[in-house]
Amino acid sequence: MPSRAPRIFISAGEPSGDQHAARVAEALRRRWPDATIDAFGGPALRAAGATVRFPMEAYTVIGFFEVLAKLPAHIRLYRSVVRDFRAGRYDLLVAVDYPGFNIRLAEAARRSGVRSLYYIAPQLWAWRPERARRFAGATDRVAVILPFEPEFFGRVGVRAEFVGHPLVEHPPPARAQARVTLGLHENDRVLAIFPGSRNQEIARLWPVFRTAAQRLLQDGACTRVVIAGTAGREYPGSGTMLVHQGDGATVLASADAALVKSGTTTLEAALADTPMVVAYRVHPLTAAIARRLMTVPWISLVNLVAGRAVVPEVVQGAANGDTLAGLVRPLLADGDATRAQHAALAEVRARLGTPGAATRVAAMAEELLAA
């Protein structure tokens, strides 16, 4: 390790990565109070005491054409940081998620003799396993957040360590408190629905989720429906359903069962011990391509972590209102299906690790700097 305080560059190009990177910056600062910690990031990293040389707000956009418009700015950012690597300004790169940019930056760090640590690896195991070899050549160490990832990356020569999932740092509220927050009665039979946050997700999932919820309300399987809403989005036909645009964890904690899109929400539901049905719909052409490229048997992270199908998954045309209602209905009845999911979700929670992921990432950084 250098005799002086280390000089570290953290790269996190979007909001969730900024949050995760901020906790790492805090853990690094506890180890080295005098360390130089510069960043490509946002307000969370800034609040954690990092010097944000490149504010991510100037680079982060949504939409294909908007991304194209920002390419020149990303190229200038890349070249600027690479010049710093070559000039010896930094001892270590900590790259957080954002793989399209960060893998290239890690490759440049290696060429410049700068050690690199990647936190929250790209999901190459699901789509592009052949790219894992390129990833192996780009990074010195990888801190992964899913328990099956070390084995996958180890097969291609990546030294990956499971540090625990960041979600476990923030346990959901108790059900009683969540219901008070949402204005629900303790005896309500509550269905939570998560139709996604992106416009295309909502356009494809909301109509069928709404139909399923209406079926369940009509036959008395549930008495209340809470929609995890996104600010600025509309949910036509929601009727008496409650649209909550706050913390999604509160919505899950309040529910007896949930109908959710695939993604991190499935792990959040597992942490809340909320039985669920997972659904997803995309453009038919996208689905056809996905079927050819996917290398894993499930779309939901909760099933991938469990290593078996513990929650139902329904995709494309099969994800219609009647089918979804039929799958959710037994989960609202406290029968065998509900008990089986509760038992399986307990296994998933155990596999997600314990709090302290950022501290473990900082320890890996110290090992790299000492090597």
pLDDT tens for 23-79 read 999 999 999 999 999 999 999 999 999 999 999 887 765 444 455 666 788 899 999
Q: Which two tokens stand for residue 10?
A: 């953290």
Q: How far is it, in rounded angstroms, from Cα 64 to Cα 23? A: 30
Pair 228, 192: CB distance under 8 Å = yes
Chosen CATH of 7-164+356-370 out of 3.40.30.10, 3.40.1000.10, 3.40.50.2000, 1.10.20.60: 3.40.50.2000
Secondary structure (3-state) at 33:
coil
pTM over 0.75: yes
Over residues 273-284, mean pLDDT: 88
Q: How far is it, in rounded angstroms, from Cα 24 to Cα 45? A: 9
Q: How far is it, in rounded angstroms, from Cα 74 to Cα 359? A: 30
Q: How far are the Cα atoms of 75, 153, 368 from residue 158, in angstroms, in the given order?
A: 27, 5, 14
Residue 253, H or E segment: helix 248-254
Q: How far is it, in rounded angstroms, from Cα 305 to Cα 245? A: 28
The pLDDT value given to residue 78: 95
The reply to whether 7-164+356-370 and 175-351 are identical in fold is yes
Beta bridge partners of 127: none
Instruction: Give pLDDT tens digits for 114-157.
Output: 999 999 998 877 666 667 788 888 999 999 999 999 998 888 88
Secondary structure (3-state) at 349:
helix
- 265: nearest Cα among 277, 256, 254: 277
Chosen CATH of 175-351 out of 3.40.50.1000, 3.40.50.1820, 3.40.309.10, 3.40.50.2000: 3.40.50.2000
Q: Which two tokens stand for residue 216?
A: 């369940």
